[in-house]
Structure 1
Amino acid sequence: MNYKQLGKQFIGGQWLDGKSSNLLTNINPYNDEVINTYQLANLTDISDAYEAASTAKEEWDKVNPYKKRDILERAVTYIEAHEEDITTAIMEELGGTRLKAAFEIGLVKNIIKEAATYPLRMEGKILPSIEDGKENRLYRIPAGVVGVISPFNFPFFLSMKSVAPALGAGNGVVLKPHEDSPITGGALIGKIFEEAGIPKGLLNVVVADIKEIGDAFVTHPIPRIISFTGSTKVGSYIGQVAVKNFKKPLLELGGNSAFIIMDDADVDYAVEAATFSRFTHQGQICMSANRILVQKTIYKEFIEKYAQKVSSLKVGDPRDPETIIGPVINHRQAEALERLINRGIEQGAVPLIQGKIAGRMVEPTILIDVEPQMDVAQEELFGPVISVIPFETEEDAIRIANDTRFGLSGAIHTSNLERGVEMAKKVHTGMIHVNDITINDEPIVAFGGENQSGLGRMNGEWSLDEFTTLKWISVNYGQRTFPY
């Protein structure tokens, strides 16, 4: 598979140029090499894609559930056969390291394997009725057509996290990847399911400029669900537009995860876990540790060991197997990080390590003695930058952890596991992990955020619920008596 040749729209089972007059040049964020060029989709293409998905969904309805399962399983087989090509695509389009690529591909295979069970889990119920001679049936049916909007950071997985379950639950899908990841977040997924044998048009991929299509991807009359992964600001807008148009929004948004280290924790282990939690894929993960909270009695020991560990991380070409930190995805992200670092220092944070920023290459920065109200502690740091905050008591740690508008993930390190669990219950977040990293996603465990980190739950039975609806059909075996 030559992934660079996937520079087309995938609409109605055909690989086509978009009808827009505008082009998108897809570049390697590490060296600026042009990967390919897209003729972008316009409003007509968006409509054609949704129409194709709606039509193909009727054909998908007739496919035996066991055959649907087999098709989804073939998608995994195709990925395994082309794993090195996909790894290269992740390194070259996203600036992801080989380690990141392996991590992401593993997540993708697991979510498809889970989605492959959905056709056999479309169970209904027969319920009693208050009326004599009557039976109530509940049928689980597909929602219809799902619109998926995916981000640039883990696009292969975060696209697939909605696409595969939506297909497995019987829906048609139109996927719009981020403009910085049109292959790994879009065309690659179209190719995988084309090779797996889904009906033509069931999955469509459109690469478009939001300035040209506006809200049309969300407001189009066909999709019943809009699944969006990305920033809280954009997600809030998309959610409002979706609800206004009577579509269900499914939102996975930003995070400001706290990594809490109590004074009875294994400090060396906490250093390792905190490093992975922040610097994996340059910190461009919504679950990344954004704030490290350290009890004052071990604060000095932790920051010394943490600085030593972080200083050892190799920054550079993501294709080098030794590289841990590659480029951030675009100049806009690098500039935003630079502004936040400078603002943090102006507000009193101390740079224990202050890495250089050159283009998209952002070296690690550790800001210590951060106060909870500082911008670097309140905003999502989507890059290799971390804030370290000292605290006195367990109550202080919980209060500081909850001092955020977000609520996605978190971690607590302590030798007293039940104490950790009780603390975890008090942190207002959708997910939190004791003696582990903040970056966790498992195919059968509920995933989602609280507060401004999102709406809905994904994975396992929860994705099946999100992408289906229940239809009540009652059967009267007799005749009802009417009052008039």
Structure 2
Amino acid sequence: MTQISTTSTTKGVNFLSLTKSFINGQWVEGESDRKYNDLNPYDNSVIATIPIATKDQLEDAFKAAKSAKKEWAANTKLREEVLTNFIQYLKDNQDEIVNTLVLETGSSILKSQVELQLTIGLLEETLKIVDSLGKVKTVDPTMPDKTNHVYRFPLGVVSTIAPFNFPLYLSIRSIAPALALGNTVIHKPDIQAGLSSGSIIAKALEVSGVPAGVFNSLLTDIQEIGDTMLEHPDVKLISFTGSTAVGRHIGRIAGGSFKRVALELGGNSPFIVLKDANIDQAVKAAIFGKFLHSGQICMAINRFIIHEDVYDEFAQKFVEHAKTLPYGNPQDPTTIVGPLINQVQLDKALKNIEKLKASGADVLLEGKLEGNVLTPFVFGNVENSSDIAQSELFAPIAILIKATSDEQAIELANDTEYGLSSAIFTTDLVRGEELALQVEAGMTHVNDQTVNDLPNIPFGGVKASGVGRYGNPWIIDEFTETKWVSVQEQERPFPF
């Protein structure tokens, strides 16, 4: 078995040593009297000890970001150069970045490599929007002798708050367009993934030539800073990926002060198998969409809704495939199912398993707990209205729900407060797309699984799954201010 080093990397860049916050172009040690032990989720070993940044240090970051925003917004060439260098830095340090993702987040090597490539692809797409500021668009005049122009301006200072599960990618998804469009950024990673989500990005931007104050990353927690990332008067937009409960809290604060938000929240993604589906291909997609990163993905399949005519075949083949998934240490390149991120998430998963058993659901595959690794569990004949089916599982627990018709399958899929991603399997592609339009979700994939993201699509959810859209060009509207200027070229007659 090939193991990744926990102390050094092949090219000498050791991101595990970057335990300081990055404020106003400087690496500064957190001034709190508390420290955070950053654990390897697989064996609970301490990979880094992080001094926690304080509220006063966060205030310093806001001052720096406010001071830097004017010059950064005005320099299109510099923004392009920094992002171009950023891309090259990630390419040059791929092994070290994958190493950090595996050790800090429990990601498999495959998942870490996929995350890095998604991040690079997103940055390459973001380069296309760097010159979107100050563009003048002539709108067809509705009045004679009047010229209309539309201008775009940066918002100013943006708060970005990222989760632990895809920490690098989900951070860059907000940070890159914010910077490309002339904004400055205050970034708070989930401290469980602070190195992957904050320090790697800060180091890459530092090396890439980002001016002081343009990007600031604080290794801190809510206990230390409270709601300052949300409430600060200089914040113009809050970009957050995480739970719906926290998203509602952000919405209440932002709404009270008319701050913009871009929120990608919880999901309860349905995977619908119609009676004419190719079951073998559906099972392959289902396994990937459920068990990638042990189910710890907002888009992961949460409910399998299967037409009763093919339910037994799907269940049998799905279970047989799930049994074969390699599990264990994510440093092993063959591992697919690794550890859950922390003990809280593990305890929650175990409680959900007990609830499913108590509810009378069929135990189709009895998994096991080995250390911090939970192997796949599969339950059948789960009620769609049950508390478990209505909750985001975020674990390698699959629940199968039987539908009596294709129409009922759509009804069951929509019977949730969430609406992020979804999927439909059918051999009738025309009908599949027609049904996709009936699913109440921001994204529906026909004959694919639910975990899909591209940098040039409108990524986002509906209902309790979020507000706003990422992806080029939709992200431009989210991260800029639009201004209409009209010029009356001839004297205009007025009726009074």
Do these two structures clear the TM 0.5 threshold for a shared fold by scoring above it? yes
Once the two structures are TM-superposed, the CA of residue 146 in structure 1 deviates from its matched residue by 0.7
Indicate the SS of the match to 1:388.
strand
Tell me whether 1:195 sits opposite 2:207 in the alignment: yes
2:250 to 238, 257, 276: 238
Residue 70 in structure 1 maps to residue 81 in structure 2: yes
Equivalent residue number for residue 375 of structure 2 = 363
Q: Distance in 1 between matches of 2:482 and 2:281?
A: 47
Cα deviation code 1:250-278 (max 9, x no counterpart): 10001101101112111111111000000
SS of the aligned residue for 1:7 comes to coil
| Aligned residue number for residue 266 of structure 1 | 278
Does 1:115 find its partner at 2:131?
A: no
Unaligned 5+ runs, structure 2: 1-12
User: Offset of 1:476 from its aligned partner?
Assistant: 4.7
Counterpart contact for 2:275–2:406, Cα < 8 Å: no
Quote the RMSD (CA, aligned, Å): 1.6
Query: Paired residue for 2:449?
Result: 437
Higher mean C-alpha deviation, range 468-477 or range 360-369: 468-477
Q: Does 1:92 align with 2:106?
A: no
Does the CA contact (< 8 Å) of 2:74 and 2:182 recur in 1?
A: no
Q: Tell me which residue corresponds to 2:312.
A: 300
Q: Is 1:154 matched with 2:172?
A: no
User: What letter corresponds to residue 396 of structure 1 in structure 2?
Assistant: Q
Q: Secondary structure at the match of 1:375?
A: coil
| Letter aligned with residue 203 of structure 2 | K
Is 1:426 the counterpart of 2:401? The answer is no
- Give 1:145's match in structure 2, choosing from 144, 147, 157: 157
TM-superposed CA distance for 1:474, in Å, is: 3.7
**Take 1:238 and 1:157, find their aligned partners in 2: how far apart are those partners?**
21
CA distance in 2, matches of 1:153, 1:459: 20
The whole-number CA distance in structure 2 between the counterparts of 1:92 and 1:405 is 34
Q: Which residue of 2 aligns with 1:82?
A: 93
1:53–1:174 CA contact under 8 A, matched in 2: yes
Mapping of 1:210-359 within 5 angstroms?
A: 210-359=222-371
Q: Call closer, same or farther: CA 1:104–1:478 in 2, change over 3 Å.
A: same
Aligned partner of 1:461 in structure 2 is 473
- More off after superposition, 113-122 vs 414-423: 113-122
Distance 2:485 2:34 in 1: 49
- 1:118 and 1:341 map into 2 onto residues whose CA distance is 46
The Cα shift of 1:135 comes to: 3.6
SS at match of 2:473: helix
- Mapped partners of 1:9, 1:50: distance in 2: 14
Q: Tell me the distance in 1 between the aligned counterparts of 2:265 and 2:389.
A: 17
Identity of counterpart residues, as a percentage? 41
- Structure 1 match to 2:175: 163
Q: Distance in 2 between matches of 1:95 and 1:455?
A: 29
The AA in structure 2 aligned to 1:101 is S
SS at match of 2:192: coil
What is the one-letter code of the residue matched to 1:120?
D
Contact kept in structure 1, 2:40 and 2:106, CA below 8 Å: yes
CA deviation string 1:319-356 (max 9, x = no partner): 10110011010000011111111112212212111212
Q: CA deviation at 1:132?
A: 6.4
Give the counterpart letter for 1:296 in structure 2: E
Q: How far apart in 2 are the matches of 1:61 and 1:384?
A: 44
- Equivalent-residue separation in structure 1 for 2:283 and 2:444 (angstroms): 18
The TM-score with structure 2 as length reference comes to 0.94
Preserved CA contact (<8 Å) 2:420 2:443: yes
Task: Please say if residues 338 and 357 of structure 1, whose CA atoms lie closer than 8 Å, have aligned partners that are also in contact.
Answer: no
AA in 1 matched with 2:468? G
For 1:472 and 1:19, the matched residues in 2 are separated by 45
Q: How many residues align?
A: 483
User: What is the Cα deviation at residue 464 of structure 1?
Assistant: 1.3
Alpha-carbon distance in structure 2 between the residues aligned to 1:93 and 1:40? 17
Q: Which amino acid aligns with 2:136?
A: G
Residue 419 of structure 1, CA deviation: 1.3
Which residue in the other structure is 1:45 paired with? 57
Whether the aligned pair in 2 keeps the contact of 1:334 and 1:357 (CA below 8 Å) is no
Partner secondary structure for residue 441 of structure 1:
coil
Q: Distance in 2 between matches of 1:145 and 1:37?
A: 29
Q: 1:16, 1:235 → 2: CA distance?
A: 30
Match of 1:182 among 164, 185, 194: 194
Distance in 2 between residues matched to 1:472 and 1:427, nearest whole Å: 36
AA matched with 1:173: V
Which moved further from structure 2: 26-35 or 4-13?
26-35
- In the TM superposition, residue 480 of structure 1 has moved relative to its aligned partner by 6.7
Residue 310 of structure 2 aligns to a residue whose secondary structure is helix
The AA in structure 1 aligned to 2:480 is: T
- Asked if structure 2 preserves the Cα contact closer than 8 Å seen for 1:46 and 1:206, the reply is yes
**Normalising by the residue count of structure 1, what TM-score does the alignment of the two structures yield?**
0.97
* Secondary structure of 1:10's aligned partner: strand
Q: Report Cα offsets for 1:60-80 as digits up to 9, x if no partner.
A: 1231x2442232121111001
Secondary structure at 2:437's aligned position in 1? helix
- Most deviating of 44-53 and 89-98: 44-53
Structure 2 CA distance for aligned equivalents of residues 385 and 46 of structure 1: 39
Structure 2 equivalent of residue 60 of structure 1: 72
How far did residue 359 of structure 1 move?
4.8
SS in 2 for 1:116: helix
Structure 1, residues 157-194: CA drift from partner, whole Å, max 9, x if none? Answer: 00000000110111000110002100111111111111
CA distance in 2, matches of 1:359, 1:316: 9
- The residue identity in structure 2 corresponding to 1:213 is I
Alignment of 1:369-448 (within 5 A): 369-448=381-460
Counterpart contact for 1:59–1:199, Cα < 8 Å? no
Preserved contact between residue 27 and residue 35 of structure 1 (Cα < 8 Å): yes
CA distance in 2, matches of 1:298, 1:461: 40
**Residues 483 and 105 of structure 1, relative CA distance in 2, 3 Å threshold:** same
The 10-residue stretch of structure 1 (113-122 or 202-211) with the greater mean CA deviation from structure 2? 113-122
Q: Which residue of 1 aligns with 2:16?
A: 4
Q: Distance in 1 between matches of 2:435 and 2:495?
A: 59
